[in-house]
Amino acid sequence: MSRRSPKPSIVSTSPCPCGLSASYGDCCGRLHRGEAAAATAELLMRSRFSAFAAGDEAYLLRSWHPETRPERLDLDARLRWVRLEILAATDGGPFHSEGTVRFRAHYTEGRQEGVLEELSRFTRVDGAWVYLDGVVD
């Protein structure tokens, strides 16, 4: 059963959940606040992982392709997204219009640890990268 997720205690000075070396405020937080756009499909993937970690449903919906975006999200409050591994990326650069990112997202649910592995597809809409869909392994 899904329940609305309270925003975890990720603040501007916290390490960014995406795994890059910047603080959340200087990294994915800028994208979440609309101050910057992801330059690559991989950076969008990282920002979406951080949005799951931060409970930012609005950003997840904004960064989803309009043809595949659900009407709403109900993030599970029991899940805590704790670490992201980028396994591979194809295309998705500044001069591409499509790209893929294979990743592993590590989470905890209560005291149990889990891993989600997915191959995500990204495309551009009006010049901005958006998540199109993904296949979970």
Q: How much is the pLDDT for 8?
A: 55
Q: What is the pLDDT of residues 102-116, one digit of tens each?
A: 999 999 999 999 999
For the stretch 1-28, what's the b/e string if a residue is b when 16 or more beta carbons lie within 10 angstroms of its beta carbon?
A: eeeebeeeebeeebebbbeeeeebbebb
Q: What is the pLDDT of residues 59-78, one digit of tens each?
A: 999 999 999 999 999 999 89
Contact 100, 122 (CB under 8 A): yes
Q: How much is the pLDDT for 137?
A: 86
- Which residue ranges make up each domain of the chain? 28-136
Across-strand partners of 81?
107
Question: Does residue 21 surpass a pLDDT of 50?
Answer: yes
- For the entire predicted model, the pTM comes to 0.92
CATH number listed for the domain at residues 28-136: 3.10.450.50
What percentage of the chain carries pLDDT values higher than 70? 94
